[in-house]
Structures are given as structure tokens and as C-alpha cells.
């Protein structure tokens, strides 16, 4: 007898419908799974057999062939277990065929028959809705993330027995309530923890407001990482579509998705030994890399000059286009990767950075260290700020609760209003970092005095034409933060204070 | 607004209404010798058969001028006897003084040009790239050291010199024109004209609305020389108006400087001749600044009080406190301004320090 159960595989982070066909014929008792599965899929046989028998059902002692169609798609992971088990139960007439019509089943089985959560429940639910299925059964633990998807009924099941009794109608469907509004960012660390550093804090606010990439330079231990970690909370909350994009990636890669009150934009800080494939994504069945995990969030590269050159160079495409395309034997995949980059660097190899109290680096090694920072990536960083040692008096002040430090709440209110100004000017989805030179200067947007200062700076600081546009973009954001329609001279000057310094800028 | 006295207004207007006649008699008359004539004498001299008609015209013009006095609020005027501002001594005691002066912009800029160091930077309209660049550099250097750049708003060197002064944040510049101060000539300099009005002064001895004649230019040149403490000829052909300005300066005992140019370039021949005759050689812009008695290295001459505050914060190594105190955005823009002026920089340790 032949049955067909719908489940879903992942291609990158997108769902692909897979129908699990099970055919049972008289013959020697064998169980075979065909359809380009990896080891986890092959081992599925043992889990399915154990789960069926330990749940008190009969495992047919006949010749069983299961096919995962389409057969051309490489399949990996244990998420086909539940569908395989239900297929076998239906083909051996332990479940009526009619009950699995229009139903998706997704999840891993343990030998005891328990349905275990596995990566990809959210995309699978999306896929089921797109396919027009009326319901999908998911492991209980995976239901929280899947409930972000509306328009399909989601059944939570604990084990194979519960799945069986629901399918035959012995027990009502345990439907998952749709997710209420998610409160974002409430658990993120606060900006007011930062001691001193008014310049760096302001740079962080400007970066958040205009979506600019940021370079933090300074000796170790001065708070570069601390500052970077506070960026996600300054960014405006994700809208519903963006939230699902992020949740889809987190679900597909199996990172625990925090659907509780503390959901925040992603913050990824890969170690500097990461490979290009680790950053961009890769593997024979391509999986997303760090740039995709940081989608709609922050990618923090600490010890920027220590990263492998090829890894840094590979960031060019995602920075430019907001997505990565990966070509492998299995095919060509596109991953979203619109992230904000924060790079942090010591001023020199020893880290002291030519400060009066003894940097021992010979001049040549200093040169080499700086030249290790990838030019093409630096070109895409609009803002740069130095994070120096705070004065000792700043600590005394922080202890005494001095009100001078900015809180995340104040800062994100400023960011929000600047974002509104950008939305009004540029339309949805675009930020100041995407503006061209013509847009920035056209239509009287640049005041005459500002133009003059910019021209002076272009000559005096030997800006490159691209460096000039970067200054303009930042100036635009500064003006937005101040609530001004045109770019004033002071905005350009403030942007100049945040420009990249050094030879190649 | 009080404006110039009736006689002086009338005398100036007489020049304006007889412009065409002066033009026709250019061959017979040295225009500057008629500039000092009182109205009736002037009309008699130039009028011939048309004298009666000119009188009628003049009376009408005087009447209109008196009724329109209020119409142009941004323009003020004065003569030796009365007016909206103090008539500068340097012009009152000139051998060929103007009857009256009209100022579009700030009369203070004119006063400053006459009383503190100012350089008349003049030269060819058809200057080449070299001349324009040098004129602009000189304009910048003079303005940066706190001097005023005086020129004639013409194409070429004049415009470059004005622009150089305007490049400097608090740069002062005065443009002297041959026609009315509200008459933009050449028309292409509308924007430059407006900027000078905003940040300095456009000055003329002719009433508003007066058109330009050929004789207006040498007449204007003598005023440039009279206002300035030094006349710099950047480029100028033989027998050009620039040399006329230099002559006017010499006649007033005002030193003349000239910028060396290529000997095979017609546009530099006049200025090179001035050098041959002993003019001060401008080997670099700072020569002009020093000749005015200013210090070209005094970069702080033109900075404002708010920047002094920033300088103090840097030298006390309290930049963070300063940022907190004045606001990060404001503080950063002042620091960037100091950097732009070459007064401060940041090192590899990211710390601000003063330069020089």
C-alpha cells in the first residue's frame, strides 16, 4: 500500500516541500529510504522503527520503501522522522489515509517516540501555509517560534502516541495560540553603563540613526566591545516582516530563538580566526554564515586587522548588496545579509597605540598592522571614532550617579526621530548610508557654507571622492538627528570629526 | 535713513545722467578730470546742445532719488557732510574724492577696509588658471591673517580674490563697482555679488541703478586704490585697467606689488613690467600679508571665541569634559573646525593636541 505525507526540507533558509512516500509490499522485512538523504536521514530508519515499536504500534514486517521527493534535492537532518513514521503507520493501515490529507508533519523522533524539536520549524510552517495545507503538526518545543506565522493552524504534539490519537480523532487538535506582540530589546544592556566616552557614544548614536558602519579604534579594555553590544538596543524595533526574516534565519540554523520578552536584533561577534565560508556561509549543502545570522542586526568584528584577509575581502558583496549568493554543486543559493558592521581595532599590535606611556611597536610593524585592515571594507565604513582611556574622574562620576551619561532610552528616541526623517525623505527601506552624492547635495540640501567647509576639508585632509561622500552621508545623519532639513556647516564639521583618518582614506 | 546731502546726491546723479555723453567724449576728456566737477559745471562741459535736456533729466532723477530713498533698505549711503555711516577719511582726503558712497551690505566692512590693513587684489579679466589660483591664494592668506580683500567684482582675478577671502570663515572682502551697487555686473556673478553683500560690502560712488560705461572702470579703479593699503596686480596685460589701478595707487603713495608671470604670456606682461619698475615681488602669498603688517603665521587671528574655548580644552587634556559640557555634536564640530584650520590634530592614540 502506498501513502504520501507532506513535510519540508530547507534550502538555505527557505522551505522546500518534500513528500514522504511510503510503499509497503510483501517480501523480506527491509526498510529503505531513498531520495538523496545524508547520514542523519539514513539513520532515521532506526529511530523510526524504535519510536513506532516503543509507542505500542506495530512495525510491519514487510518490505518498506520510503522515498523523499523531489529526489534531486539534497536532504539533511532528522526532521523527516515524524513524517516517515506517520507514513508507515498509514501505509500499514494503523491510521486512516484521509486523516493525513492537507496535513504537514515536521519533527525528529527519539527512540521512545517523543517528538523532538529541530531546526527549521518556522520555515516549515511558512512552507505549509504557502502550499495551502490546513494544518501542520510540530514538536511542542518548536511551537513558540512557529506561532509567529499566521494563517495556518499549528498542532503541538508531545509524542507519536499523541500524534496518532489526534490524527484518528480520539483527541482534539491541541492548537497553538498565535504569538502576541513581541516586546523587543528590553533585556539588552544599557548605554548608561558606559563610563565617559562622550565622543564614542555619539558616534554610536549616529551609526544607529543612519545605518552607518562604524570603526572603533582604541587600546584594549577601553570599552569597544561594550559599546558595540549596546548598538542593537539603539536600533528601532523590527517590523513584522523583518522580524519573520530574522526568526526564519534563527529557526533554520537552529539558534535558540528567543521569543520571550527579550527578543532583540541579532548581534554576532565571530572570532577573528573565522574563514570566508564561515562568514558568508558554505558547505556542500550551503548553510548560512555569520553575515546572514547578523541579518537586520549587528556584525561585530573585534580585532579587525587580525581577521584573515580573504575573509574580510569576502564581506564586500554582502556589505554592498545586502545578500550573499553562494554557488555549490548542490546549486546556487541566496542568503539575506543586511547587517550593520562594527569593526574594532587596536591602534597598534601592542595595543598601547603610541600613547605617551610606552608603545614599543617599531614604526614598520605599525604600518603593516594598519595595512592589514582591508581597504575595500574600510571604504564601506562611514564612521570612525577613537575610544581612549577615560579619565579617572569619570569613574568617580559614574559611581556618584552623575546624570551626564546618555541612557539607551534617550538615545533610541533620537535615533527613532532621525529614522522618521529618513523615511519621509527616502521612502521605506532606505537609509542615509544608501544615499548617493547627487541625492545628498542636490536640491539645495547642502547649505553654501557647508559646501565651502567640505571643499576646504577635501583639500586640507586630502579626502578621496568616496571619503567626501562618506562625510556627506554622516553629515546628513547628524542633520537628521538635529531635526534639520538641510545640511549645515556644523553638521559637516561634526561629520568630519568622525571621518576615517590615516593614509588610505 | 538720512543719505547724502542734496548737493552731493545731485552731483553724483549728474555723472549718472551724463554717462553716455562722457562715453562719447572719451577721446577728448580724461574721465577722471570730470569726476570732481559739480553738477552744473559738469553738464555745461559735456552737454553741448543737449545741456538743457540733461538738466531736466537730472532734476527728475534727483526728485526720484529723494522719493525712492526708502525703497532699498539694504543699501545705505553717505557723503562727506552727512549719511547713514561715517564717510571714510581715506576717501574724503583723496585727491579725486567721490561725491557720495553707496554701500550694499555692511558699511562696517568698508570702514574696516579703510582703517585696518587691506589689500587691493586686481588683475586681468581673462586671467589663466595660474593667475586665478594665485589670486585666490592671496585672497585667502590676507583674509586668514585678518586683512580685507578689496577688488572690483569683475571676471578673472577680481572674482578669484573675492572668493579666496570668502573661503575663510570670517574673511572680509569689499567689492567696488563702477555702476550702482544694485547693478550686478557681470551678470554671471549674481551669486558672488550676493555673498559679498551678505558677508562684506559692495561699494560704489554711483547712485543705485546706474548703468556701467567704459569710463566707469578706470573711475572705480581709483577707488580700489584709495581704499587699499597695498595694491597687488596678479596678472595684467600692457595698457590694461590693472595697470591703471597700479598708477592710481602710486599717485596716492600706496605701495604696489605684482605677481611674476610667464614672459611669453600676454596676460602677464603688464605685471612683469611693474616688477621691472620696482614693484614688490610676490614670491608667495605671505609676502602680501607681511607687506600689510600682518602676521601670516597667526592662525588664531581669525578664530572666534568658541574655538578658543576648544583650544583650551585640548591643551588641558579635558576634551571629554568639554564635549559633555557643550554637547557632543557642537564640540565635535568645533574640534573639526580647529583641525581644518590646522590648529589641532589627532595622533595615532586618538588624542587631540594643538599644532604649532
What would the pLDDT profile of B18-63 be if each residue is shown by its tens digit? 888 887 776 555 656 677 888 888 888 887 788 888 888 888 888 8
Residue A387: its chain B contacts at CB < 8 A?
350
User: Measured between CA atoms, how close is B205 to chain A, in angstroms?
Assistant: 30
* Interface touch A490/B348, C-beta < 8 Å: no
Nearest neighbour of B349 by CB, restricted to A353, A460, A493 = A353
Q: Does residue B167 belong to the interface with chain A, where contact is any CB pair within 8 Å? A: yes
| Domains (range + CATH), chain B | 6-291 (3.40.50.450), 303-354 (no CATH)
Residue B316: its chain A contacts at CB < 8 A?
none
Its CATH architecture, for the domain A2-167, is: 2-Layer Sandwich (3.30)
Chain centroid to CA B91: how far? 14
Give, to the nearest 10 degrees, the angle between helix B319-326 and helix B305-315.
140
Residue B328: its chain A contacts at CB < 8 A?
198-199, 201-202
Residue A63 above 50 pLDDT? yes
Q: Options 3.40.50.970, 3.40.50.300, 3.65.10.10, 3.40.50.1370; which CATH number does A191-408 get?
A: 3.40.50.300
Residue A209 above 70 pLDDT? yes
Sign of the alpha-carbon dihedral angle for B160, B165, B166, B169: positive
pLDDT band at A203 (very low <50, low <70, confident <90, very high): very high
What would the pLDDT profile of A105-159 be if each residue is shown by its tens digit? 999 999 999 999 889 999 999 999 999 999 999 999 888 888 888 889 999 999 9
Q: Tell me which chain A residue has its CA closest to the CA of residue B140.
A: A456
**Is there a shared CATH topology between the A2-167 domain and the A435-505 domain?**
no
- B144, B191, B349: which to substitute to probe chain A, counting the most A Cβ within 10 Å? B349
The CATH class, in words, for A435-505 is mainly alpha
Q: Which strand ranges, in their side-by-side order, compose the sheet holding B280-281?
A: B75-79, B100-105, B201-204, B172-176, B148-151, B118-122, B230-233, B256-258, B280-281
Rounded to whole angstroms, the Cα distance separating B105 from B107 reads 7
Is residue A6 within 8 Å of residue A104, measured between CB atoms? Answer: yes
Q: Does residue B346 belong to the interface with chain A, where contact is any CB pair within 8 Å? A: yes
Burial B106-116 (b: 16+ CB within 10 A, else e): bbebbbbbbee
CB-based burial label for A289 (10 Å; 0-12, 13-18, 19+): buried
Residue B310: its chain A contacts at CB < 8 A?
none
Rounded to whole angstroms, the Cα distance separating A413 from A236 reads 9
DSSP secondary-structure letter at A296? T
Query: Where exactly are the structural domains of chain A?
Result: 2-167, 191-408, 435-505
In 3D space, the residue among A111, A106, A100 whose CA is nearest the CA of residue A77 turns out to be A106
Q: Tell me which chain A residue has its CA closest to the CA of residue B327.
A: A198
Contacts of A454-461 with CB under 8 Å at 24 or more apart are A454/A492, A455/B167, A456/B167, A456/B340, A457/A492, A457/A496, A457/B336, A457/B340, A460/B340, A460/B342, A461/A496, A461/A499, A461/B339, A461/B340
What would the pLDDT profile of A365-403 be if each residue is shown by its tens digit? 777 787 777 677 888 899 999 888 777 777 766 554 544
Nearest neighbour of B348 by CB, restricted to A199, A348, A390 = A348
CA contacts within 13 A on the Cβ side of A336 = 17
Q: Tell me which chain B residue has its CA closest to the CA of residue A499.
A: B336
What was the pLDDT predicted at A504? Answer: 43
Nearest neighbour of A198 by CB, restricted to B324, B347, B350 = B324
Residue B190: its chain A contacts at CB < 8 A?
none
- B347, B348, B355: which to substitute to probe chain A, counting the most A Cβ within 10 Å? B348
Count of helix runs (H) and strand runs (E) in chain A: 22, 18
ipTM for the complex?
0.77
Contact pairs from chain A to chain B, CB under 8 Å = 92
Count of helix runs (H) and strand runs (E) in chain B: 17, 11
Regarding beta strands B352-354 and B75-79, do their DSSP bridges make them parallel or antiparallel, or are they unpaired? unpaired
What would the pLDDT profile of B284-340 be if each residue is shown by its tens digit? 999 999 999 988 777 666 566 678 788 888 888 888 888 888 888 888 888 888 888
What would the pLDDT profile of A247-301 be if each residue is shown by its tens digit? 899 889 887 666 655 678 889 999 999 999 999 988 877 889 999 999 999 999 9
User: Measured between CA atoms, how close is B240 to chain A, in angstroms?
Assistant: 32
* Interface touch A457/B340, C-beta < 8 Å: yes
Matching residue, cell 569726476: B35
Nearest neighbour of A353 by CB, restricted to B167, B339, B348 = B348
What would the pLDDT profile of B63-107 be if each residue is shown by its tens digit? 888 777 666 778 889 998 888 888 999 899 988 899 999 999 999
User: Measured between CA atoms, how close is A458 to chain B, in angstroms?
Assistant: 10
Nearest neighbour of B324 by CB, restricted to A219, A404, A493 = A404
Residue B324: its chain A contacts at CB < 8 A?
198, 404
Per CB distance under 8 Å, which residues of A are interface residues toward B? 196-199, 201-202, 217-219, 347-348, 353-356, 366, 386-388, 390-391, 394, 404, 448, 452-453, 455-457, 460-461, 478, 481-482, 489-491, 493-498, 501
What would the pLDDT profile of A316-357 be if each residue is shown by its tens digit? 889 988 889 888 776 788 899 999 999 998 887 877 765 555
Per-residue DSSP letters for B286-329? HHHHHHTT--TT-GGGG--HHHHHHHHHHHTT-HHHHHHHH-HH
Amino acid at each position: 500500500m502506498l501513502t504520501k505525507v507532506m513535510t519540508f526540507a530547507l534550502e538555505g533558509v527557505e522551505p522546500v516541500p518534500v513528500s514522504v512516500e511510503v510503499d509497503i509490499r510483501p517480501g523480506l522485512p527491509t526498510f529503505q529510504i531513498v531520495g538523496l538523504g545524508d547520514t542523519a536521514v539514513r539513520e532515521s530508519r532506526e529511530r523510526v522503527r524504535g519510536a513506532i515499536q516503543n509507542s505500542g504500534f506495530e512495525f510491519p514486517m514487510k518490505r518498506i520503501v520510503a522515498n523523499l521527493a523531489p529526489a534531486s534535492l539534497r536532504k539533511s537532518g532528522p526532521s523527516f522522522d515524524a513524517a516517515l513514521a506517520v507514513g508507515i503507520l498509514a501505509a500499514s493501515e494503523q491510521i486512516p489515509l484521509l486523516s493525513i490529507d492537507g496535513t504537514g508533519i515536521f519533527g525528529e523522533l527519539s527512540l521512545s517516540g517523543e517528538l523532538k524539536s529541530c531546526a527549521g520549524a518556522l520555515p516549515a510552517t511558512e512552507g505549509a501555509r504557502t502550499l495551502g495545507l490546513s494544518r501542520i503538526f510540530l514538536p511542542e518545543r518548536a511551537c513558540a517560534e512557529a506561532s509567529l506565522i499566521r494563517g495556518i493552524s499549528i498542532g503541538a504534539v508531545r509524542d507519536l502516541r499523541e500524534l496518532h490519537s489526534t490524527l484518528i480523532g480520539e483527541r482534539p487538535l491541541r492548537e497553538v495560540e498565535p504569538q502576541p506582540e513581541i516586546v523587543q530589546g528590553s533585556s539588552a544592556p544599557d548605554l548608561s553603563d558606559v563610563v565617559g566616552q562622550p565622543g564614542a557614544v555619539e558616534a554610536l548614536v549616529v551609526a544607529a540613526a543612519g545605518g552607518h558602519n562604524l570603526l572603533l579604534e582604541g587600546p584594549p579594555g577601553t570599552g569597544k566591545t561594550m559599546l558595540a553590544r549596546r548598538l542593537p538596543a539603539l536600533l528601532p524595533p523590527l517590523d513584522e516582516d523583518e522580524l519573520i526574516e530574522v526568526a526564519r534565519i534563527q529557526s533554520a540554523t537552529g539558534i535558540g530563538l528567543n521569543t520571550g520578552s527579550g527578543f532583540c536584533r541579532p548581534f554576532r561577534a565571530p572570532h577573528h580566526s573565522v574563514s570566508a565560508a564561515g562568514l558568508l556561509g558554505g558547505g556542500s549543502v550551503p548553510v548560512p554564515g555569520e553575515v546572514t545570522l547578523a541579518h537586520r542586526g549587528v556584525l561585530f568584528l573585534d580585532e579587525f586587522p587580525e581577521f584573515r584577509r580573504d575573509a574580510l575581502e569576502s564581506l564586500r558583496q554582502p556589505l554592498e548588496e545586502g545578500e550573499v549568493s553562494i554557488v555549490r554543486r548542490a546549486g546556487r543559493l541566496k542568503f539575506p545579509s543586511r547587517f550593520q558592521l562594527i569593526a574594532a581595532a587596536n591602534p597598534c599590535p601592542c595595543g598601547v597605540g603610541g600613547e605617551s606611556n610606552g608603545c614599543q611597536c617599531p614604526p614598520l610593524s605599525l604600518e603593516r598592522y594598519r595595512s592589514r585592515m582591508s581597504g575595500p571594507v574600510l571604504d564601506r565604513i562611514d564612521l570612525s571614532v577613537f575610544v581612549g582611556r577615560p579619565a579617572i574622574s569619570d569613574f568617580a562620576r559614574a559611581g556618584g550617579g552623575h546624570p551626564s551619561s546618555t541612557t539607551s532610552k534617550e538615545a533610541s528616541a533620537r535615533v527613532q526621530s532621525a529614522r522618521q526623517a529618513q523615511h519621509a525623505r527616502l521612502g521605506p527601506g532606505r537609509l542615509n548610508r544608501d544615499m548617493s552624492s547627487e541625492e545628498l547635495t542636490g536640491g539645495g540640501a547642502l547649505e553654501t557654507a557647508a559646501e565651502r567647509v567640505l571643499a576646504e576639508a577635501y583639500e586640507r585632509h586630502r579626502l578621496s571622492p568616496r571619503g567626501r561622500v562618506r562625510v556627506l552621508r554622516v553629515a546628513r545623519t547628524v542633520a537628521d538627528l538635529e531635526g534639520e532639513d538641510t545640511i549645515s556647516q556644523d553638521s559637516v564639521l561634526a561629520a568630519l570629526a568622525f571621518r576615517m583618518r590615516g593614509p588610505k582614506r | 535713513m538720512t543719505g547724502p546731502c542734496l548737493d552731493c546726491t545731485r552731483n553724483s546723479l549728474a555723472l549718472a545722467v551724463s554717462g553716455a555723453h562722457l562715453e562719447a567724449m572719451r577721446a577728448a576728456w580724461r574721465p577722471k578730470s570730470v569726476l570732481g566737477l559739480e553738477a552744473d559745471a559738469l553738464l555745461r562741459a559735456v552737454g553741448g546742445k543737449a545741456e538743457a535736456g540733461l538738466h531736466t533729466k537730472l532734476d527728475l532723477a534727483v526728485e526720484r532719488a529723494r522719493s525712492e530713498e526708502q525703497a532699498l533698505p539694504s543699501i545705505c549711503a553717505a557723503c562727506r557732510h552727512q549719511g547713514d555711516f561715517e564717510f571714510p577719511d581715506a576717501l574724503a582726503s583723496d585727491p579725486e574724492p567721490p561725491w557720495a558712497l553707496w554701500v550694499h551690505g555692511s558699511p562696517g566692512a568698508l570702514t574696516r577696509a579703510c582703517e585696518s590693513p587691506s589689500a587691493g587684489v586686481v588683475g586681468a579679466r581673462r586671467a589663466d588658471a595660474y593667475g586665478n589660483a594665485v589670486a585666490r591664494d592671496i585672497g585667502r592668506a590676507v583674509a586668514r591673517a585678518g586683512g580685507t580683500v578689496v577688488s572690483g567684482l569683475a571676471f578673472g582675478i577680481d572674482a578669484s580674490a573675492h572668493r579666496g577671502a570668502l573661503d575663510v570663515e570670517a574673511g572680509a572682502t569689499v567689492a567696488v563697482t563702477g555702476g550702482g551697487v544694485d547693478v550686478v555686473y557681470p551678470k554671471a556673478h549674481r551669486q558672488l555679488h550676493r555673498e559679498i553683500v551678505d558677508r562684506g560690502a559692495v561699494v560704489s560712488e554711483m547712485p543705485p541703478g546706474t548703468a556701467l560705461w567704459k569710463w566707469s572702470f578706470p573711475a572705480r579703479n581709483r577707488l580700489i586704490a584709495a581704499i587699499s593699503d597695498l595694491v597687488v596686480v596678479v596678472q595684467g596685460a600692457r595698457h590694461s585697467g590693472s595697470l591703471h589701478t597700479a598708477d592710481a595707487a602710486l599717485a596716492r603713495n600706496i605701495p604696489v606689488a605684482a605677481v611674476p608671470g610667464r614672459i611669453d604670456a600676454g596676460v602677464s606682461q603688464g605685471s612683469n613690467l611693474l616688477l621691472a619698475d620696482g614693484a614688490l615681488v610676490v614670491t608667495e602669498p605671505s609676502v602680501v600679508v607681511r607687506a600689510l603688517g600682518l602676521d601670516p603665521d597667526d592662525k588664531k587671528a581669525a578664530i572666534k571665541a568658541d574655538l578658543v574655548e576648544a583650544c583650551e580644552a585640548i591643551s588641558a587634556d579635558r576634551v571629554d569634559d568639554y564635549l559633555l559640557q557643550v554637547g557632543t555634536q557642537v564640540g565635535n564640530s568645533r574640534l573639526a573646525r580647529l583641525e581644518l584650520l590646522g590648529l589641532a590634530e589627532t595622533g595615532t592614540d586618538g588624542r587631540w593636541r594643538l599644532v604649532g
